[in-house]
Amino acid sequence: MEKEFKELLKSSKEVIGDVEKKVADISSDLPKEMSELWGDIQKSFTKIKDELLEDDHKEKAQEKVLEAKEKLNHMKESVTQFATNLKDEHQSDLDTAALRAHLAKMEAADFVEESRKKVSREVQESSHSLEKLALDASKEIKDFFSSLSDQFSKKA
């Protein structure tokens, strides 16, 4: 499972980078509001990628993946709305997407900080459960960003 976990971490980071590149390629054509929203979303993507680092301590790496998944859960709706607005160019939904992204960003930071102790305690209680959770979380992250990348591929 350790090899699969490392491969998923690597491919998740690659897919996130692919999404960032695709949006960066079209970002010069975005309205100002969407460019600002993309900047906020990109910062969140960076935080998620930062959590997907391999660590010499397997349990610490798994804990970081779970934190990345929590960050993704809090911003998933905003990112999906952004992609939809970008694809369909619906300006009317932009304000809602911007608000959701901002709120998700704030909630994610608060939630991760509050749950850090809980996750650490769970790590100590069950490393096998953590390993399975981390593997599932890394798959979910990769699948979400692969799907998002496909949406941008369809636009091009």
Q: Is the pTM of this model over 0.75?
A: no
Q: How far is CA 97 from CA 32, 58, 122, 130, 135, in A?
A: 14, 36, 34, 33, 30
pLDDT tens column, 16-26? 888 888 887 87
How sure is the predictor about 126, in pLDDT bands with cuts at 50, 70 and 90? low
Q: Which of 32, 42, 65 is nearest to 140 (CA)?
A: 65
Using the predicted structure, report yes or no on whether residue 113 has a pLDDT greater than 80: no
Taking the C-alpha atoms of residue 107 and residue 18, their distance in angstroms, rounded to an integer, is: 26
H or E segment and range at residue 125: helix 94-125
Using the predicted structure, report yes or no on whether residue 30 has a pLDDT greater than 80: no
Query: In the chain, what percentage of residues exceed pLDDT 70?
Result: 72
Number of domains comprising the chain: 1
Q: Domain of residue 126: give its range.
A: 2-155
pLDDT of residue 102: 67
Q: In the predicted model, what is the mean pLDDT of the chain?
A: 76
